[in-house]
Structure 1
Amino acid sequence: MAAVLPGWLALAHAGLSPSLGQHPGTPRPAIAHGPVGGRSFEAHPTAGGDGTVVWWLVDDTDHRLAREALHMEKERTAFLTRASNLLLSSLNLERCMDVTAQMAAEHLADAALVIAPSHGHSLPVVTCVRGGAPSTSRLTVDPAQVPGLAEALQGFPPVPSRWIDPAAAPAWLVPEEFGTVGSIVITPLPGHGVPAGALVLLRRSGHEAFTESEEVFARLFAARAGAAMSAARLYTEQASITEILMRELLPPTLHQISGVDYAGGYRPSKDHERVGGDFYDVHPSAVEGEPSLVVLGDVCGKGLQAAVMTGKIRNTMHALLPMAGDHQRMLGLLNTSLLNTENARFATMVLASAVRAGSSVDLRLTSAGHPAPLILRSDGLVEEAPTRGTLVGVLPTLVTQSADVTLASGDTCLLYTDGISEARGGPMGDTMFGEERLRRALAECAGLPAEAVVERVQMLTSQWVGDGKHDDMAVVVIAAPRTHHLTAVNGHTRGRFTA
């Protein structure tokens, strides 16, 4: 029988039970499978009445191929889904390149290289061998040494694998201790309008070369990887641009200038934002003995659009610094500028010119539609500066009234936006903080340095609003120098004021 039947069928026949078909409860024998002449067959046994067995064969080649193809497609779909989830879970470009190289090496080839477009005179390359970890390097090499690589980096269609001679692969393309390369696939990593790079797959000599189907699947994987890398690169570029612009929009850190103490604090309307419609600046005088200019303002609206307008206003005020001694003229020119700007927002502002005069500080305060500054005397008395004016960017003519105030030693001037006084909160959550409550809080700050006054006002208003919604909040404190100083015990305590 072994000389006539295929080996798999002879073994199946030999394994049949002698009682086949003789007892009603005999289990049905397993169907045998095997090849005959390059085709695939199922063999089913049937018992004859005389103790013989008849085998009838069914050609299932097409069904088997279909099942194998379906199984492969399910595996590939699952792989692409897993790859997409991993790639899209991060907006870090280096992480995307590492994931791309590692997944390609584990599932598509023996080794994989992810090559990004040239950065200066070098190519960022991530290399991974199956079973290993990805490694990053920057190589000063010519991609034209590898057929199809330079074109792939530019986003052109891939060169068929059969056109690439593995023996011509340069040393930098082959990982250390990889061995002889038997087959290479190079495919672009398409991005959003700009190529994201190229994917290189390597298979060792002695292994089956890449098939056309595998090359097509590699391109499907590369499309997903390229989209993720492109998104990560765009995010990184946008984040860098945003960070640069944000630094220009953020309020400055204040300190002592020409013998006058300054401190400021800002809290945007939303905790996840860094800028908004409130702003402040201190411009030191370029001439010794001349006043420094303090600008605090509140642009209508909140968020990024308001922040953009604050940037325009701050730049305009900076350009108008040569006339800082004339508040009315500065605000008038700014008013004209805002009226001539498309989609302009109106703003409220207060200017303060401060100059040291012995142990005191002379102030000129000008409000333009803004809450009047509060003056805190060293004995706890709180006064409102007699200054007022119209909004900036609303009427053709701006009208303001300035006030001259002298800060004696230990006196403080508080500039604030209405986000402080109109902050709603309290026990019921809808009561405004109010100017009277602000005055009482400020009176308790008598004798404190400028930074402590800012921290106290910010702390009380934050406690008042709690988790509720609020507008942008900004405060600036101008303080006259004190005649007393801080002492410390053993040089380690925070110290106390002594006369």
Structure 2
Amino acid sequence: MSQLPRQSGTRTLGPPAPDLLRAALDASREAIILCAADDDTIVLVNAAATALVPGLDPGTLQALEASTIEHGGRRLKGERRRLDDDHYAWYLRDCTDEELQAEKFRAERARTAFLDEAGRRLTASLNQRRVLRTAVELAVAHLADAAVVVLPVRRRHSEWIRLVSGGSAEEGTLRESVLSEVPGLEEALGGFPPIPSRWLDASQVPAWLLPGDAAPVGALLVTPLPGNAEPAGALILARRGAAFSDEDELLARIFAARAGAAIAAAALYRDQVDTAAILQADLLPPELPQPDGIELYGSYQAARDALSIGGDFYDVYEATPTSSDTIVVLGDVCGKGPEAAVLTGKIRQTLRALRLVEDDPEVMLSVLNRALLSSGRQHRFATMVIAAISRAEHGRLRVTLATGGHPVPLILRTDGTVEAAPIRGTLIGVVPEITVQPATVELAPGETCLLYSDGLTEARGGPTGQDQWGETRLRDALAGCRGMPGDAAVERLRQLVSDWVHGGVRDDIAMLAVRAPARTRLSLMDTGVAATSPFAIDARRGERRGRAR
């Protein structure tokens, strides 16, 4: 080591003695290593450096220039400083605890990010299959090499979904009898606390649990999926090699809790949808029959697109052994949505039972009125029109109409004239005795009687968005349907009012068209003449409309 002159005040001092230099370096708490610049020979190691890196060699020091090194189970950082032309020094620092804390922080941040992603993706859908697929995808991406979700036993079988790293998700069912072959699975499905992974023998995993080409299982973890008051299933995690640490098991349990809640919510939603579909099936307008000599066409739109049931309804009761009449009903109950639909269902069932013993529309309305009043529920009323249809001579229909506070049906004649049926009546379910003034009208071949709810005429839209479509527009639109088949006329009216509303708020809308079949159609079918023949027959005049070419 070259001698460096030192100055103190005005006196020039010589180089310190080697013993004094060593004592000074040993007194420092910082690990210092003095090296020769020409060949990197270690000249001096102070006491702190000796304790920190025993058995140090120059190669270890060179590694410090690139990054942190590990020596003797400790992690070290070093800084090299030039002292003079012949010497440099390494100043070392033990950063083991600092690095461990940083690693723990990074791991915790990764776990938090994983759980945040899991919560976001698992709750993004209420489709159970999609939630199950998301659960195994997240588990394989962050927790294990393979993941299997097994759902609770139903009818002695369990549904499962499986994903192995690098593969695609698979689904299937398992017999209840084979669940016990997976260690800890029955306990997990029963909702018992998870069995620690170290207590599970991975070698006992049955061959059917994972695909045949999957690597042998080195570690197994089976965790319950907590649900809503009962287990939502079980999560099986498998690794090829590394065992599950306590932190891994804790993270898996937290993830399983979130996955279980999402699976349970999706299962509950599925059950509610299935139940609603079963109940709704009997509340929706029926598929209309086509009695001989009578054409029936209906249309129904609920106020809300998301809900296909509401307060408007129509129904058809065909002839019975005691009555040859076909009974048609169209009504509107108070309220909207499910509550109105429930009342609608009760009214329809009451009318269906009443139809077995009565076919007079006026009597049916009176009996229904008493039934609603006797239910004990206040403010539950309805408007309704009932039509009893029978076949008359020469292809005509005889329609007996009675209304209980409902919009009067309109009749489209063959010449395009639109008439209102001459009937009146009071609301159903309000007063003990109702007033009904029925009437009977006849429909000639090709003529239509339109029953509709007030949602059709009260639909708001137009230029201002608040104008009602109104009965005048309805009459004009119905007159424009002259000569149209019944289904085309109903569809035209539905489209016109939809254009008028133009996506705005609307009420329930129900329409039911009763049409006497046109003679033209019957004659063409009977004679075998094609519908495109120039010899089309006018239904009313019996005259030739075309001429032979």
The separation in 1 between residues aligned to 2:453 and 2:533, in whole angstroms, is 31
Matches within 5 A, 1:317-466: 317-339=351-373, 340-358=375-393, 359-466=395-502
The separation in 1 between residues aligned to 2:164 and 2:536, in whole angstroms, is 68
1:338·1:344 contact (CA, 8 Å) conserved in 2?
Answer: no
Q: Which residue of 1 aligns with 2:317?
A: 283
2:449·2:514 contact (CA, 8 Å) conserved in 1?
Answer: yes
Deviation at 1:8, TM superposition (A): 8.0
Secondary structure at 1:262's aligned position in 2? strand
Deviation at 1:89, TM superposition (A): 2.3
The separation in 2 between residues aligned to 1:496 and 1:447, in whole angstroms, is 17
Q: Which residue of 1 aligns with 2:546?
A: none
User: Out of 51, 54, 78, which is 2:113 matched to?
Assistant: 78
Aligned amino acid, residue 10 of structure 1: P
Q: Which has the higher contact order (CA 8 A, sep 6+)?
A: 1
The separation in 1 between residues aligned to 2:521 and 2:492, in whole angstroms, is 21
Aligned amino acid, residue 349 of structure 2: N
The separation in 2 between residues aligned to 1:209 and 1:494, in whole angstroms, is 84
User: Out of 98, 103, 120, which is 2:155 matched to?
Assistant: 120
Aligned amino acid, residue 468 of structure 2: M
1:492/1:104 CA distance change after superposition, 3 Å: farther
Q: Which residue of 1 aligns with 2:129?
A: 94
User: Out of 461, 466, 476, which is 2:512 matched to?
Assistant: 476
The separation in 1 between residues aligned to 2:455 and 2:293, in whole angstroms, is 30
2:188·2:234 contact (CA, 8 Å) conserved in 1?
Answer: yes
The separation in 1 between residues aligned to 2:500 and 2:534, in whole angstroms, is 30
1:270/1:9 CA distance change after superposition, 3 Å: farther
User: Out of 304, 321, 324, which is 1:270 matched to?
Assistant: 304
1:55/1:495 CA distance change after superposition, 3 Å: farther
Normalised to the residue count of structure 2, the TM-score between the two structures is: 0.81
The separation in 1 between residues aligned to 2:211 and 2:435, in whole angstroms, is 75
- Write out per-residue CA displacement over residues 357-410 of structure 1, whole angstroms, 9 at most, x where no aligned residue: 232111110010011112222222222222111101111222211111222222
Q: Which residue of 1 aligns with 2:192?
A: 156
1:31·1:42 contact (CA, 8 Å) conserved in 2?
Answer: no
User: Out of 207, 229, 238, which is 1:193 matched to?
Assistant: 229
What residue ranges of structure 1 are gaps of 5+ in the alignment? 16-28
Deviation larger for 356-365 or 175-184:
175-184
Larger Rg: 2
Aligned amino acid, residue 162 of structure 1: R
The separation in 2 between residues aligned to 1:32 and 1:322, in whole angstroms, is 93
What residue ranges of structure 2 are gaps of 5+ in the alignment? 1-40, 539-549
Q: Does 1:226 align with 2:260?
A: yes
Deviation at 1:146, TM superposition (A): 2.5
Q: Which residue of 2 aligns with 1:23?
A: none
Matches within 5 A, 1:100-179: 100-140=135-175, 141-179=177-215
The separation in 2 between residues aligned to 1:199 and 1:234, in whole angstroms, is 19
Aligned amino acid, residue 318 of structure 2: P
- Write out per-residue CA displacement over residues 248-306 of structure 1, whole angstroms, 9 at most, x where no aligned residue: 22112324213211111112223333222111001101227611111100112222322
1:12/1:346 CA distance change after superposition, 3 Å: same
The separation in 2 between residues aligned to 1:360 and 1:254, in whole angstroms, is 20
Deviation at 1:107, TM superposition (A): 2.1
The separation in 2 between residues aligned to 1:66 and 1:59, in whole angstroms, is 13
Deviation larger for 252-261 or 154-163:
252-261
The separation in 2 between residues aligned to 1:454 and 1:89, in whole angstroms, is 40
The separation in 2 between residues aligned to 1:6 and 1:240, in whole angstroms, is 73
Provide the alpha-carbon RMSD of the alignment. Answer: 2.9
Q: Does 1:65 align with 2:100?
A: yes
Deviation at 1:496, TM superposition (A): 10
Deviation at 1:247, TM superposition (A): 1.9
1:265·1:474 contact (CA, 8 Å) conserved in 2?
Answer: yes
- Write out per-residue CA displacement over residues 281-337 of structure 1, whole angstroms, 9 at most, x where no aligned residue: 011012276111111001122223222221121122112112332333322232222
Normalised to the residue count of structure 1, the TM-score between the two structures is: 0.89
2:157·2:173 contact (CA, 8 Å) conserved in 1?
Answer: yes
1:376·1:382 contact (CA, 8 Å) conserved in 2?
Answer: yes
